[in-house]
A and B are shown apart, each in its own frame.
Chain A
């Protein structure tokens, strides 16, 4: 470090005292920004990082076994496992429960596999129909017609002490964990 008059502008090769401190100051701020970035990015991505390893999913009850007659498909509602005080009614979700026979069920997400609109069950024609883009599914959830590329999403279920419970907690979308969960899902009837 050469000592020069303070007022003299630093050339490219030499570094003035003030120039050095300015660069040090920028460096120091860069360090502060990095320290700050860790919690900021961590906060911004908190909803993503928590979802790793299916951290949002848990078992929720749908109702008693007796509420679902054999061979029929009924609408059931459940409350999502993660509730925040400002969620209002949005945490209540509907699903279609098909009791195939005995303790064999199929629990379909209400969301169309195309773009997530709520599908409706028509027992007379044995079809689920979507009001948005016209997707249709058979009673076993298999794709019947329209734009969906796959059948309805199914929740893994189990029957415990006469209660039907499903593993839920995430919006069923083609990329969601629910779309690929196969744990206790019964083999597709089709």
Chain B
């Protein structure tokens, strides 16, 4: 049997002549210190990418890229096709893992100075691979053609339409027509299944080829300075003196981590399951609060928190600048220290970006800026706020509910968080200030003057004046006390 196999192998290699170059590539010497668990993320990204190719092709066996049928074909995958739910779960979780691993790989490469001479182009292609990975994540979310995908496309179109002059044309190009419809899904399908994967495969090959040709970045030593004139000779000497063949010396860690990642994706798919689809992509169903997928949540938060006037410039100027900065990075610091121990600004930059994105992502999971659309009818005023109040104040509590104040203001820890919580509003604002705020709005609150009768305003403000902790007296206007009651100070209002 073994002889037979050998003969077939020889026959093939006589024609293909691939065995020698493959062996050469596998056994090329790498610096011993690169056989580290820090160096496994590149191969892990490749592993997840291959996993995505396989699960993606499997999904394409069932999925129908038609706006009328995509949603039901996903339902069929989830519920009717044997193990369809698992393959969907693998593909969805694989997507999350891929973005995460590519980002980790990038941070590792940045902190280890691997982007410096002569690996500038490897880094630049890596930046393009990151952009394509994010492109795959976004187009993939669109293919899960549900409510979130539909309104997510609307958000994408709204952003695109802000581009000066060509904005409207970009929107129609993106949507494949004047509205989000069948042509939109078809073109995102073409992007997700043909265009971007084709480019990804080509660029991954180039990326790998350069890793082979230029060698794996050696473990950075503080004080070992990269110089264009000497680096390549030094690296060559290093691999000669302290090198080991990549296979098997270093690859076993890659293999272990790759298997671990595949099992982790499978475990997430099995125990947590696939993502969605959420409601049907029917634009007449407006009871929906669309949210982007995990890796775009930070953007969702940013778009809520930026001042309105800064939004368009930010959206149109900052992303190209960030990409430009990433591409220029190896040219701006192509030489010098590689070790993160001697590059404090690099470390601080990574930490700042990570903390910022992490904070935005966390906030977007709570969406404190979104009104709670049902709070006014589902979150009652807590008993303790009504107990012992006058008829007028209770009427005010009713106005407070009926006029949907709760949608943006919480009391007793329920309700929206768009505006400030009102549990102790009476401590902050006097009666006159409350009346002014309710009638004129301001500070991001709509004016209710046109929508409240004077009686309703009086009742509402009377209720709001009772909202203060028992141990704190409400705010009062001393001048008003003086005018109304002479010089005697007014005693604290009873709760």
Point out residues on A near B: beta carbons under 8 Å: 44-45, 47-48, 51, 56, 75, 77, 80, 82, 84-94, 110-111, 114-120, 122, 124-127, 129-134, 136, 138, 144-149, 169-171, 173-177
Contacts and interface: CB of A to CB of B under 8 A. Distances in A.
B167 A171 contact: no
B446 A92 contact: no
Nearest to A77: B284
Interface string B377-419: 0000000000000000000000000111101100000000010
A176 B404 contact: no
Interface string B291-302: 000000000100
- What's the dominant secondary structure at chain B's contact region? loop
Contacts of A129: 371, 373, 404, 407
A65 B151 CA distance: 30
A171 B179 contact: yes
Contacts, number: 207
Nearest to A127: B446
A21 to B, nearest CB: 31
Nearest to B307: A147
Nearest to B447: A144
Contacts of A114: 158, 303
Interface in B441-456: 441, 444-448, 450-451
A84 B407 CA distance: 39
Contact of A124 (B181, B185, B282, B404): B404
| Of listed B68, B159, B181, B287, residue having the most chain A CB within 10 A | B181
A86 B186 contact: yes
Contact of A91 (B169, B173, B179): B179
A44 B168 CA distance: 15
B169 A80 contact: no
B183 interface: yes
17 contacts: A44-B173, A48-B173, A86-B67, A86-B186, A93-B283, A94-B283, A115-B303, A118-B151, A118-B288, A126-B451, A129-B407, A132-B155, A133-B300, A171-B179, A173-B157, A173-B171, A175-B163
Interface residues of B, number: 71
B181 A87 contact: yes
A149 B309 contact: yes
A118 B175 CA distance: 18
Given A88-B71, A134-B369, A147-B311, 16 more contacts: A47-B175, A47-B176, A89-B281, A90-B281, A91-B179, A92-B283, A118-B286, A120-B286, A131-B371, A134-B408, A145-B445, A169-B179, A173-B167, A173-B168, A174-B158, A174-B162
B157 to A, nearest CB: 5
Contact of A147 (B68, B159, B303, B446): B303
A47 B154 contact: no
A175 B177 contact: no
B67 A116 contact: no
A125 B67 contact: no
A84 B179 CA distance: 11
B66 interface: yes
Contacts of B404: 122, 124-125, 127, 129
Nearest to A129: B371
A110 B151 CA distance: 11
B186 A148 contact: no
Nearest to A83: B181
A82 B177 CA distance: 9
Contacts of A133: 300, 303-304, 369-370
